[in-house]
Amino acid sequence: MDPVKEIQLKYYGHSAFQLTKENTSLVFDPFITDNPLTAIKPEAIKCNYILVSHGHSDHLGDTVKIANQTGATVIATYELAGLVAKQGCKTYSLQFGGKVSFDFGTLRLTPALHGSGVPGGLACGFIVNFYGKTIYFAGDTGLFGDMELLGKSATIDYAILPIGGRYTMGPDEALEAVGMLKPQYVIPMHYNTWPEVEQSPTEFKSAVEKCYPKVKVMIIDPNQALILN
C-alpha cells in the first residue's frame, strides 16, 4: 500500500471501501472482481484488516483471496469468520457487544436488518474509531429505530449508508437514518452498481442537506478517494 499521512477513504464502488493511514489499512466488503464499478484487480489491494458485513457475494467478494495474499485479518461475525477460516484466512470474530481495541483504535459490531448469507449468522455493520475519526459503515441494512441508539452512543463523524433501495435502505430511508445517527458527514454507497439499485446520489445529497443543514453529503466517485478531516 502507498503510505498516506492523512486518513484516506477510497471507494471501489458498491460497498467496497479502503480506509488508510500510514501503514495501516482496513478494507470493507471487498467486492472487486465482479464489481462493474471497480477499476482495480484484487491482487493490487494491500491491507492489514478486512471487515466483512455479511456473506452475500457482493460483500464477501474477494475477501478470501485478498486475506490469503496479504495475510490480512478478516474481522466478521463468528459464523462468517468460521467460514473464511476454513479457507485459510486469519480471522478475528465477534458479535454484537462492546468495543474491542486494535492498533488503529476501536471497533464495534452494529446490527443490520438484512440476511447474513451464512447459516446461523447475522448481518452487521461496524462503528470504527480509526485514529480518532469515528466511522459508521452500515453494511446492507433496512432502516431500523436503534440507529437512534447508535447516534447516542458514538459521535459519528462519517456515516456510510446504503441508498440503493430494494435490498437495502433507499434514499428516503437513508434520510431518516441521518436524523437518528446525527453524523457530521454522510457517504452514500450500494447504488448504481446494477439497474436494480439505480439512484441519484446528487438528489440524495440535496435532500439531506436541505433537511439537516449541519450535515454534509460527500459523494465519492468509484475509484476516487476522500481525505477525512
Shorter beta-carbon distance to Ni ion: residue 113 or 149: 113
Q: State the nearest-atom distance from the C-beta of 93 to Mn ion, in Å.
A: 21
* Residue found under cell 435532500: 207
Name which of Mn ion, Ni ion, none residue 62 binds, using a CB cut-off of 5 to 8 Å depending on partner kind.
none
- What is the helix (H) or strand (E) element at residue 106, kind and residue range? strand 105-111
Told to check if 29 binds Mn ion by CB under 5 A, we report no
Rounded CA-CA distance 87/20 in Å is 26
Interacting span for Mn ion (CB under 5 A) from 37-45, 137-145, 152-160, 199-207: 137-145
Q: State the nearest-atom distance from the C-beta of 14 to Mn ion, in Å.
A: 7
Shorter beta-carbon distance to Ni ion: residue 62 or 140: 140
Contact call for residues 29 and 61 (beta carbons, < 8 A): yes
Q: Which amino acid is at 186?
A: V
Told to check if 58 binds Mn ion by CB under 5 A, we report yes
Interacting span for Mn ion (CB under 5 A) from 53-61, 71-79, 87-95, 116-124: 53-61
Minimal CB distance residue for Ni ion: 56
Q: Which amino acid is at 157?
A: D
The three-class DSSP label of residue 114 is coil
How many other CB atoms sit within 10 Å of the CB of residue 85?
15
Contacting Mn ion (CB under 5 A), which of 29, 62, 79, 140?
A: 140
Which of 206, 154, 207 is closest to 183 using CA atoms? 154
Phi, psi of 186 (to 5 degrees): -125, 135
Shorter beta-carbon distance to Mn ion: residue 29 or 79: 29
Shorter beta-carbon distance to Mn ion: residue 58 or 79: 58
Contact call for residues 114 and 123 (beta carbons, < 8 A): yes
Shorter beta-carbon distance to Mn ion: residue 55 or 151: 55
